[in-house]
Structure 1
Amino acid sequence: MSVIYDLEHITTYSYRNPVTFGKHRAVFLPSATHRERILSYLVETNVPCKIRWIMDTLSNNVAELEFSEPAKELIVTCRLRAEHFGLKAIAEFPLDPRALEIPVQYTPDEWSDLSVFMRPHAEDPDSSVATWAKYFVAGDQDHTLDVLQRMMDTIKNTLSYQSRETEGTQSPGETLRLKSGTCRDYAWLMIESLRRLGLACRFVSGYLYDGALDGGEVGMIGSGATHAWLQVYLPGAGWRNYDPTNQITTGFDLIPVAIARHPSQVMPLSGFWFGETQDYLGMNVKVLIRKLANLPEFESKSVAL
């Protein structure tokens, strides 16, 4: 089964006086994969600009925006129509024996490819993150899937979700100390903790689709908005989703857009401007995701050539 959806992502920056804009980067367009098919896309701005598409070092699609006029308001609208294929249960992708227990045994080739996703990025001066991570493998609690599930459940059940308008991501240690955070903070805490257990993890930026919103109901945390979670590389199963904010690992809800070693690499929209500091009045983000249709699932077959 697949879902066709429309996405509209509108970001508005407001200023007291006209300011000049430097280069901006928009990351909203998923890469075409076996789980995502792009049908149409568009980037529009209220200020004249030149748009150039590039692919970054991790093969993410990035739109570079260069503006030619100053303004008191900058509106960047990204529109997308795509077909999204859900992720099946991990039971359908059995782990290799070397991945059943922590530490997972990666092959030399996997080490070469995954090393940047295995090395911790955030500092841990008081070892609070490392200590917290080791709690999940204490005693004989080392079965990989159990460890992942317990860590995800613990983040969801013991931390308080707090939306935050300011950009950026808390350090994992700060999230543990505050016992609260956003989806980005939750994902970053789990990534850096699992890296300290020897697992390859990457940060995922994207969107959370929730069917409840189509009926006007209250949806999941972060639904109908930009969202963040993580993927863990498990030999035999490949990159698998873990969303500690909503305890999601499968299904159609998570729509990945970009992957990164750390959160700052894949901000949905980033850039700089020139003017007086007091001229900045704020930012508003509006995301609309609407399902258009469900398509029947077809059976894929391998053919020897």
Structure 2
Amino acid sequence: MRLRIRHVTIYRYARPVRFLDHRLLITPRSGRDVTTISSTVKIDPASELVWSEDAAGNTVALALIADAAPALTILAEHEGLHTADPYPIFRLDPSAFRYPFAYASGDLALFGAGLLDPGAGGDAAAAAWLASFRATAPDDTLMLLNALNEAVGVAIAYRTRDEEGTQPPSQTLALRSGSCRDLAALFLWATRRLGFAARAASGYLFDPGSVADDVGATHAWCEVFLPGAGWVAFDPTQRRMGGAGLVATAVGVTSEAVLPVVGGFLGDAADFAAMEASVSVKASA
């Protein structure tokens, strides 16, 4: 299936301001499920784009914006071939069929501590929630992860959230609600605490059942490394396993590391007026 993606982000200010460099992670990652056919990024005011690849293999565009302006518009347009199976069958190495299992030493060296360490954000309440889940969860590795994905999606009600940043797992569990990045952060923390290598992912979601002219969204989910299958997507918001409908633009240790646009401006906080973002993801012939 061919997908056309159009992503527009507009920052508006009360007066012309000068901009700091902006770091953009808005280019699809090519892989087994996604092949990028074309990709363009345009910025107004005109900017120099310096392209690079970061340590996670993400395509990074650093926007150097010389002119002051009352607005900053970032337009990304992509076309790609999306081949993910909606009902995937993952063939794990026999050693990884049942949980717990040990990763190969070479894999551990590549992961680094960041993808294995649950890090900050868990407390006694979050640990108790995970222990309660584990008490009845199966030992089959894929069934265990699928059950955890479902448990997060059932326990936490999805809601849009305009505030920046990600809620700690304990706060998400206390509120019983959160954005897609909050659900992903809870799943990420839980899988690492169970001993899995896991990473945050962000990008675009294609949902052909949505209303025409609104068939896409920026989205956040997780990927877990399973020997024999590689990096497998788990989306607790959609309660899905596998890459169907997902087009990643970045992967990283935390959700904060994979934000699509990071930058600032020179001026007073009161100069900032508004931010608008729109995404269209459509199937094309």
TM-score by length of 1: 0.87
Deviation at 1:134, TM superposition (A): 2.2
Q: Deviations over 1:219-251 (max 9, x none)?
A: 8xxx61100111111112211111000111136
Choose from 229, 233, 237 the match for 2:225.
233
| 1:203 lines up with 2:200 in the alignment | yes
Q: Deviations over 1:14-73 (max 9, x none)?
A: 111111100001111123323222211111122121111110111100111011111111
Q: Distance in 1 between matches of 2:79 and 2:152?
A: 33
Structure 2 match to 1:43: 41
Residue 163 to residue 283, structure 1, CA distance change in 2 (3 Å):
same
Structure 1 match to 2:8: 10
Structure 1 match to 2:169: 172
Residue 147 to residue 252, structure 1, CA distance change in 2 (3 Å):
closer
Structure 2 match to 1:131: 128
Choose from 29, 32, 36 the match for 2:30.
32
Q: Distance in 2 between matches of 1:30 and 1:143?
A: 32
| 1:182 lines up with 2:195 in the alignment | no
Identity, in percent, stands at 33
Residue 47 to residue 137, structure 1, CA distance change in 2 (3 Å):
same
**Are the equivalent residues in 2 in contact too, given 1:58–1:260 (CA < 8 A)?**
yes
Residue 250 to residue 139, structure 1, CA distance change in 2 (3 Å):
closer
Q: Distance in 2 between matches of 1:121 and 1:50?
A: 36
Of 57-66 and 94-103, deviating more is 94-103
Structure 1 match to 2:54: 56
Tell me the secondary structure at the aligned position of residue 120 of structure 2: coil
Deviation at 1:179, TM superposition (A): 0.7
Residue type at the aligned position of 1:257? T
Of 47-56 and 130-139, deviating more is 130-139
Runs of 4+ in 1 over 6 A off after TM superposition: none
TM-score by length of 2: 0.93
Deviation at 1:167, TM superposition (A): 2.1
**Are the equivalent residues in 2 in contact too, given 1:8–1:77 (CA < 8 A)?**
yes
Structure 2 match to 1:296: none
Residue 275 to residue 147, structure 1, CA distance change in 2 (3 Å):
same
Q: Distance in 1 between matches of 2:246 and 2:30?
A: 15
Choose from 65, 71, 74 the match for 2:72.
74
Of 68-77 and 110-119, deviating more is 110-119
Structure 2: runs of 5+ lacking an equivalent: none
Q: How does 1:101-180 map to 2 (within 5 A)?
A: 101-115=98-112, 116-124=114-122, 126-138=123-135, 141-180=138-177
Of 66-75 and 153-162, deviating more is 153-162
**Are the equivalent residues in 2 in contact too, given 1:205–1:259 (CA < 8 A)?**
yes
Structure 1: runs of 5+ lacking an equivalent: 294-305
Residue type at the aligned position of 2:138? Q
Q: Distance in 2 between matches of 1:26 and 1:262?
A: 16
**Are the equivalent residues in 2 in contact too, given 1:134–1:197 (CA < 8 A)?**
no
Of 154-163 and 55-64, deviating more is 154-163
Deviation at 1:97, TM superposition (A): 2.7
**Are the equivalent residues in 1 in contact too, given 2:137–2:147 (CA < 8 A)?**
no
Choose from 256, 263, 278 the match for 1:271.
263
Deviation at 1:5, TM superposition (A): 1.2
Deviation at 1:141, TM superposition (A): 3.4
